[in-house]
């Protein structure tokens, strides 16, 4: 089942799926509304965050590969590290604005609940520690903690690209080994001043980023990282169907959940049989990889992504960093309003609709301003700024990377 021929220029699927992930991330980050029951996490084991990190890796491979061909250059590495600095500064700004919004809800809406949620309570328990932890990335607010993950992964991307261009299978194997080691030995970066580690554990989540990066590097060469295979399609589709039934049927969930408990009794490590987002445990990892592979092999997905109705989502995906940052701040504002006024259906609808409208408007303005501004070509190669993606390879190995990915580019 070969993939459809790709049109010249950007592959529309990446932008549309990234835009869809942004919409779902925003909805999920305003908990308690009716609409969060409609997002992808209710129909399988993974959610929009896994998809976004995977697509961030693809974007990085497409956007930065030219700076490392035929040989790695300092200019190529500097371009990536400048992006890391941008991500860091955006994260600090988003964190400060989220704190300000939470304070505003307490002062003007008489709704101080936010000050006791999303790790904000540590600001009052350990203020000096939080003042150190925020710039050191060891204290991250809930719903505002994915940009640090992306910044860390992007910081090591020059090395990953060098390895991926020469020994892609070895790099993928090493990423899987590190993922398993993180789950087995609970490897994580530390928090401070609160105990524990990062919610988005870089040692575990890197496996998705590396899978995406290798996919993007292959796309840059006009090939797929994992070939289209009918047995693999059936296997991926079967796993997606199983996870759907498991997620929607209490009876099936009870039976299969007991089976997972039996696996734990047999001594299998926890990252094999639990559903832990921090360590991207096996059920979640297999689900997002199966979903990405299955969608990437269906020609109809490309046609839908290239259709006119999908273009607003594509615009959102192309401007993912400003959209994600704005959506994160808006989700804190929406949470404060719901804390103050309750969560009737009409208010859920109005708040989410207004928040999404702001994000779409921002993406539109960014596109307009970007089109009018003169483009300064980076020293690495003009083609690096506008990757050509003949195919989206199966992503083996899509709700805030270059070419605009959740964090990106």
Give the residue among 306, 310, 309, 316 at the shortest CA–CA distance from 365: 316
Residue ranges covered by each domain of the chain: 43-293+322-356
pLDDT value at position 170?
Answer: 98
DSSP, res 6: P
**Both tokens assigned to 15:** 């932008």
* pLDDT tens figures, 93-133: 999 999 999 999 999 999 999 999 999 999 999 999 999 99
DSSP 169-231: HHHHHHHHHHHHHHHHHT--PBPSSSSSB-SS-HHHHHHHHHHHHHHHHHHHTTS-SS---HH
Q: Are 156 and 208 in contact (CB under 8 A)?
A: no
pLDDT value at position 70?
Answer: 87
Q: Looking up tokens 């290239």, which residue turns up?
A: 306
Q: Considering the chain, what is the average pLDDT of its residues?
A: 90
Q: Residue 379 above 80 pLDDT?
A: no
Model-level pTM?
0.88
Q: How would residue 373 be classed by pLDDT, with cut points 50, 70 and 90?
A: low
Rounded Cα distance between 348 and 35, Å, is 8
The residues that bridge with 197 in the sheet, in sequence order, are 190
* pLDDT tens figures, 23-69: 999 999 999 999 999 999 999 999 999 999 999 999 999 999 999 99
Phi/psi of residue 334, each to 5°? -65, -40
Q: Residue 286 above 90 pLDDT?
A: yes
Query: For residues 25 and 385, which has the higher predicted lDDT (pLDDT)?
Result: 25
Q: How would residue 393 be classed by pLDDT, with cut points 50, 70 and 90?
A: very low
Rounded Cα distance between 272 and 277, Å, is 12
Give the residue among 272, 138, 258, 260 at the shortest CA–CA distance from 194: 138
Q: Residue 226 above 60 pLDDT?
A: yes
- Count CA within 13 A, CB hemisphere, residue 375: 11
Q: How would residue 320 be classed by pLDDT, with cut points 50, 70 and 90?
A: very high
Q: How would residue 11 be classed by pLDDT, with cut points 50, 70 and 90?
A: confident
Lowest mean pLDDT among 52-61, 66-75, 280-289, 372-381: 372-381
Distance of CA 82 to the CA centre of its chain: 20
Q: What beta strand segments (E) does 287-377 contain? A: none
């Amino acid at each position: 089942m070969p993939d459809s021929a790709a049109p010249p220029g950007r592959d529309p699927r990446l932008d549309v799926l990234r835009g869809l992930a942004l919409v779902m991330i925003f909805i999920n980050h305003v908990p308690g509304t009716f609409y969060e029951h409609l997002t992808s996490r209710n129909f399988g084991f993974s959610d929009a965050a896994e998809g976004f990190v995977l697509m961030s890796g693809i974007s990085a491979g497409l956007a930065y590969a030219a700076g490392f061909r035929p040989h790695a250059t300092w200019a190529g590495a500097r371009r990536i590290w400048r992006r890391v600095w941008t991500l860091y500064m955006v994260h600090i700004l988003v964190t400060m604005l989220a704190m300000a919004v939470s304070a505003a809800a307490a002062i003007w809406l008489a709704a101080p609940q936010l000050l006791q949620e999303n790790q904000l309570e540590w600001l009052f328990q350990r203020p000096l520690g939080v003042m150190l932890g925020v710039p050191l990335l060891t204290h991250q607010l809930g719903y505002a903690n994915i940009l640090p993950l992306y910044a860390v992964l992007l910081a090591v991307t020059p090395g990953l690209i060098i390895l991926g261009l020469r020994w892609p299978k070895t790099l993928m194997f090493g990423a899987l080994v590190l993922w398993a080691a993180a789950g087995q030995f609970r490897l994580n970066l530390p928090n401070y001043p609160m105990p524990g580690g990062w919610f988005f554990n870089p040692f575990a989540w890197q496996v998705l980023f590396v899978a995406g990066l290798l996919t993007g590097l292959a796309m840059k060469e006009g090939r797929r990282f994992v070939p289209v295979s009918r047995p693999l399609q059936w296997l991926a589709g079967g796993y997606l169907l199983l996870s759907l039934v498991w997620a929607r049927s209490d009876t099936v969930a009870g039976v299969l959940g007991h089976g997972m408990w039996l696996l734990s009794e047999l001594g299998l490590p926890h990252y094999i049989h639990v559903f832990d987002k921090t360590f991207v445990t096996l059920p979640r990892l297999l689900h997002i990889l199966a979903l990405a592979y299955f969608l990437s092999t269906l020609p109809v997905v490309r046609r839908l992504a290239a259709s006119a109705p999908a273009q607003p989502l594509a615009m959102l995906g192309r401007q993912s960093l400003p959209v994600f940052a704005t959506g994160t701040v808006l989700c804190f504002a929406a949470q404060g309003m719901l804390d103050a006024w309750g969560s009737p259906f009409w208010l859920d609808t109005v708040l989410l609709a207004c928040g999404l409208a702001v994000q779409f408007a921002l993406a539109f303005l960014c596109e307009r301003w970007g089109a009018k501004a003169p483009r300064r070509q980076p020293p690495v190669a003009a083609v690096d700024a506008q990757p050509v993606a003949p195919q989206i390879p199966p992503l083996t190995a899509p709700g805030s990377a270059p070419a605009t990915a959740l964090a990106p580019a």
